[in-house]
Structure 1
Amino acid sequence: MITLYSEGHHQHHGQAELKDGQLVPCFEKPARADMILAQLREAHLGAIKTPEEVYPEVQSHWQQTLAKVHSQDYIDFLANAWREWSAAGHQHDMLPLAWPPRRTTSIRIPDSLDGRLGYYSFDAGAPINAGTWPAITDTVQVAIAAAELLHRQQSHVFALTRPPGHHAGRDYMGGYCYFNNAAVAAQHLLDRGAQRIALLDVDFHHGNGTQDIFYARDDVLFQSIHGDPRACYPGFTGYADETGEGPGKGFNQNYPLLPGSDWSEWSQALALSIIKINHYAADALVLSLGVDTFEGDPISHFKLKSEDYIKMGQRIAEANIPVVVIMEGGYAVEEIGLNTRNLLIGLMTPPQES
């Protein structure tokens, strides 16, 4: 297995996020990727490459691919936000203070920076600082280069992406996410000739942004196994009756599970998901990997154990299609590397039992 990685993620390190009514240090931090990288090296799971090493063209192509996933006005906002913020004399992180309310007669993009910050956000969990833009654009290139390797007949590729991306919709950020790395990887595979992509999200939290991007499309089958939105973040999407619209009707499937679910419950949802992926006859699988399903995760509520991730990887391998793994959440930093490593080992290991 080849791992794609960029040191550029270190440039983004949020100061604080809002949790339980308080500003607390961000759970999403550079140490997450550092711990994963250390485990990959210790386990000798394969070469670790930069995007430029395997796909030099990514430096000139990434913006075109990104613009097929996110709106250009949103991309432009992120590109210029910190420059505008710092020019106004601010040095602390940018966080929104107002969001568009329901039943607004006409939601327009405000001229003020605070107004635009609220317009392009759905929560106060995605702080912007001086390093955010270079980090998120590096991460997009990691995802595209990983997808390119899959296109070139690699059967398994791991994109060690940070910040994560699955909460980022077509024109909004939130939940630590700015650009949707998994969606960008799927789009690149389609641009390279794939007809059907399956995108499976196994993060504890619903991949609301990915659902938003592909909800009316039939070239990407999106499935998400996650905490029940009645009790779990992000709270407003992820219900089982959200199945797509227009051409995308039937190509969106959510598997909400109750807090406290362990492997026995979780694996049943995965089995249903694999059946649907096989029926779709996808050319490739993009796996949004969050290991915040782990029993010790500080902001999630499932009960998977470290050894369960080996079984998870084996079950996903049963789909028998090429897989590009895109890193999403996981905030038990001491275990994030082990759990990610176990998933990758399982993905490359034939299952011992059905």
Structure 2
Amino acid sequence: MQLNGVSLATRRSRLFKRLVVTTTGLGRRERDVIEELVQRMGGEVSSQFDAKTTHLVAATVLSAKYKAAMNDEAFRACTVVSTCWPQACWDKALLLDPAKFKVKPCCGLVVAVTNLDPTTKQNIQKRLEKLGAIYSKVLDQNTVTHLISSGGTPSGEKFVHALEWDIPIVDLRWLDTCEKTKAPAPIDEFRLEAPIGGTDPILRRQLDALEYAARSVKTCSIFLDTRIYVPSTSISGDQFKNPFWVACLGLINKGFGTMVPAQILHDVSARDTITHVVLPPDILPLQPIEFDSLPRTAHIVTSDWLLESLKAQSKLSVEPFLISASSSSSSKRRRLLHVPS
């Protein structure tokens, strides 16, 4: 078949002449297919992304190459296109306008949601897919890139694990901005963090330190043989809304320890298997009667024991972190501890 006296094979072989194409975010098989098409159309494939690159074929907005092409003046001349562009050019035997093959704002993102009703979730799924994202019903540590939550107080199991796995948690305004700007919205502006309890600045600093440590310390197996109980400091008893409990969970998981549930305290034989009870440093001291609800054989320590042990990558002696049962405390502190009797 010929077009204007030129065979399709010849026409195709010249389409990408003088073009230098780089890819980003593609799986090996898809990359091989696209690179072969580029070469068959006379283009040059380059693994380097530099000033010579004329086109970047991007499968995700998260890649460093994509971000550089969109934001760095040094790559202003580079045209960013979706993965559909090379195949479409081949099929039509024409060098199609790259402007019609823009990368969608959320291309390559895998997004889960939490704390939203079913109708809202369905609506968000449609909006995300229209923007090029993949909607995930589960929070998979290895694939999910963002977690969308309601704008209220963040809570729930997905929220806890997203903090632990360092998956960005954003509110719905992030999605609104992606749609409005037709570009991936910056995360920091819409990021949701673990709620900080109370107005006490000392407590806030302690919780900030714990949360930071839960994210930054290295994983190790120092708590492998420990069974740790962390009382809820929330009067409501909802652990996932309690920032101290959430932070301790992250630290314990980093050390491969076991966080035991509150229900175990009602079983005398089972609660004796608890090796440590961790309390906030500021909830000191406690009335002796409150310790009656805690396992008698366990070491009752401050959360600093978790933090310092992980920093040292070794389970430290509990002696410097032990809490005495002989001192007194205000009724407010005792109520906040919320230890079952």
TM-score normalised by the shorter chain: which range applies? under 0.3
TM-score (norm 2): 0.26
